Amino acid sequence: MKKQLKAIGLALSLIWFWSVGLSAVTVEFWTTQTQSDRMKTIQLLMDTFQAVNPDIKVTLVAVEENDMPKQMAAASAADSLPGLIEGSSELMLAFGAEGILDVDNVSAMVRQIGKKRFYQGALKMVESPTGGSYYGLPFHGWVQGIWYRADWFEKAGLKPPTTWDAILKAAKTFYKPKENQYGILIGTKAENYSEQCFTHFALSNGAGEFDSKGNLVFNSPEMLETLEFYAKLARYNPPGPQTWRARDYYLQGKLAMFFYSTYIMDDLALAEVAAGSLTSDNFPSLPAAAFDPELVDNTRVAATITRKKAGGYGSMVALSLVKQSDKAKVQATKKLLAYLYEPASYITFLHMAPGGMNPMLRDIASMPDYLNDPKGIFKRYGRTKIEEIISGLDSIGSFTIVDGKTFPDSGKIFSKRIIPRMIFAVTIEGMEPKAAIAWAEKQMKKVIEE
């Protein structure tokens, strides 16, 4: 009898799960974390969510950030937009301006999670131009800086690379191409990394895309001066159009300075993470090298660059809800969004890249579970240094914000990669800076008028 009841119970359970499966609401989640190991972790989080919420099915889709605008446009045309997306604040501003985001529910979720819990500098980066509503919820972010060989600088008697003059002097000093050694790494390829490096310099020179009234002011003396200086610095780069990948030169002891986010922290501290940069696979000119355990101690970071003003730069990745007509899908997507901010799931997500993915909620940043990352990276750097880096998210700058006002058109410009194309034209193709800036501003006007 017991066996029969057990069999009946099992059958009823299977029927229940089957019926729930048939009626489950499907949520499509697009993430820009395309690496296979990160996808596995996120899928595990999704599996856990689905186990607790068997009436919701989550379809996880990896999308390269550079491809996100095209993919969203294609999905919109096919009436198959995702419910939840993860991407840069610039992309959120662009999508928000296009009217495809569920601004009301996003803003409601900001309030539900707790507006004061977010770092205010990060929250400002996804605020709508009218204020009071939001195009996304800050999820994780990084602070950019010039990571440099402090031991080389000390030996050469050079000041830290915190000013334009100090940076240029160091780049020249350490540029020894015959010895396969280079002075600096800045982006020159037509992609996002180049714009990130360039923006840091532009902000330090008081240059921007818009003024506080929303007028396009890209073609300015300050911007021209920045581009000319950037082109001068690029002469001390490793050869060829360069992107973030040339960090390999630094990890193999062949580079004095490089622009990078806090994502580099684990590469500097752990041999197994640095392994991909210690081969000759990416650059035949690099013969490969052993991991240098002292490199992390010999490295310092200059997060602020000063010329006319102190300039800091960082990037923030946000989550956002895409407009959906199905109310059941809206509720399911909001439930998934809230789940991703629960401490256990949030910290698991952030620990995919300790130091690179910094929390956007203040209370998470000080939690022992967060500071105790599986790789032990935070222990290597120390709690004080970690909290200092994260606190920089209160005051990071970008072209999207001027005098506390947000301009979504900057996000649209970012998505078209106009600045990276301008940089490539000058540093690699030899175009005159004046002509390049005039071309870039013309392209920006076209984007704004679309």
> pLDDT digit string (tens) for 135-170?
999 999 988 889 999 999 999 999 999 999 999 999
Share of the chain above pLDDT 70, in %: 92
**How many structural domains does the chain have?**
2
Residue 338: phi and psi, rounded to 5, are: -60, -40
What is the mean pLDDT of the segment spanning 48-70?
95
**Same domain? 299 vs 320:** no
The set of residues, in sequence order, having a beta carbon less than 8 Å from that of 442 and lying 6+ positions away, is none
Residue 182 pLDDT greater than 90, yes or no: yes
Give me the pLDDT at residue 404, please: 60
pLDDT for 435: 98
Q: pLDDT, tens digit, for every residue of 348-387?
A: 999 998 888 989 998 998 899 998 998 888 887 777 667 6
Residue 343, in any domain of the structure:
yes
Q: Are residues 272 and 282 in the same domain?
A: yes
**In the predicted model, is pLDDT for residue 2 greater than 50?**
no
| Mean pLDDT, rounded, of the chain | 90
Write down the residue that tokens 């789940």 correspond to.
339
Q: Is residue 90 located within the same domain as residue 199?
A: no
Question: Based on the number of CB atoms within 10 Å of its own CB, is 8 exposed (0-12), middle (13-18) or buried (19 or more)?
Answer: exposed
Tens digits of residue pLDDT in 271-282: 999 999 999 999
Instruction: Give one DSSP letter per residue of 250-290, joined into a string.
Output: HHTT-BSEEEEEGGGHHHHH-HHHHGGGSSSSS-TT-----
Instruction: Indicate the range of 127-131, 217-221, 322-326 predicted with least confidence.
Output: 127-131
For residue 366, the model assigns a pLDDT of 82
Which of 323, 358, 381 lies at the terminal end of a domain, its last residue?
Answer: 381
Same-domain status, 329 and 357 = yes
Rounded distance, CA 410 to CA 209, Å? 7
Bridging pattern class, strands 358-359 and 314-321: unpaired
Taking residue 431's Cβ as centre, other Cβ atoms within 10 Å add up to 16
Q: Are residues 153 and 128 in the same domain?
A: no
Q: Would 386 be classed as within a structural domain?
A: no
**Residues 46, 184 within the same domain:** no
Q: Are residues 55 and 134 in the same domain?
A: yes
Sole residue written with tokens 């996002």: 192
What separation in angstroms does the CA of 139 have from each of 88, 100, 143, 357?
Answer: 10, 20, 14, 9
pLDDT of 22 > 80? The answer is no
248 and 377 both lie in a single domain: no
Question: What is the value of pTM for the model shown?
Answer: 0.72
Residue 18 lies in a domain: no
| Residue 388 in domain | no
| 424 and 400 assigned to the same domain | yes
> Residue 7 domain-assigned?
no
pLDDT 10s digits, 220-250: 999 999 999 999 999 999 999 999 999 999 9
Task: Output the pLDDT for position 429.
Answer: 97
- 368 and 409 in a single domain? The answer is no
Local confidence band at 288 (pLDDT 50, 70, 90 cut-offs):
very high
Q: Which residue has the higher pLDDT, 162 or 403?
A: 162
Residue after which a domain boundary falls, among 381, 406, 436: 381
Within-domain flag for 435: yes
Whether residue 15 lies inside any domain: the answer is: no
422-447 pLDDT, tens digit per residue, is 999 999 999 999 999 999 999 999 99
> What does the DSSP assignment read for 68-102?
HHHHHHHHHHTT---SEEEEEHHHHHHHHHHT-B-
If asked whether residues 112 and 177 sit together in one domain, one would say no
Give the contacts of 18 (CB within 8 A, at least 6 positions apart).
none
How far, in Å, CA of 419 to CA of 192, rounded?
Answer: 9
- Residue 2 covered by a domain: no
CA distance 198 to 91: 18
User: Any residues with CB less than 8 A from the CB of 103 and at least 6 apart, and which?
Assistant: 96, 128, 133, 134, 135
Question: What SS3 state is found at 372?
Answer: coil
**Same structural domain, 165 and 238:** yes
Give the domain CATH number at 362: 3.40.190.10
Domain coverage including residue 57: 25-141+315-381
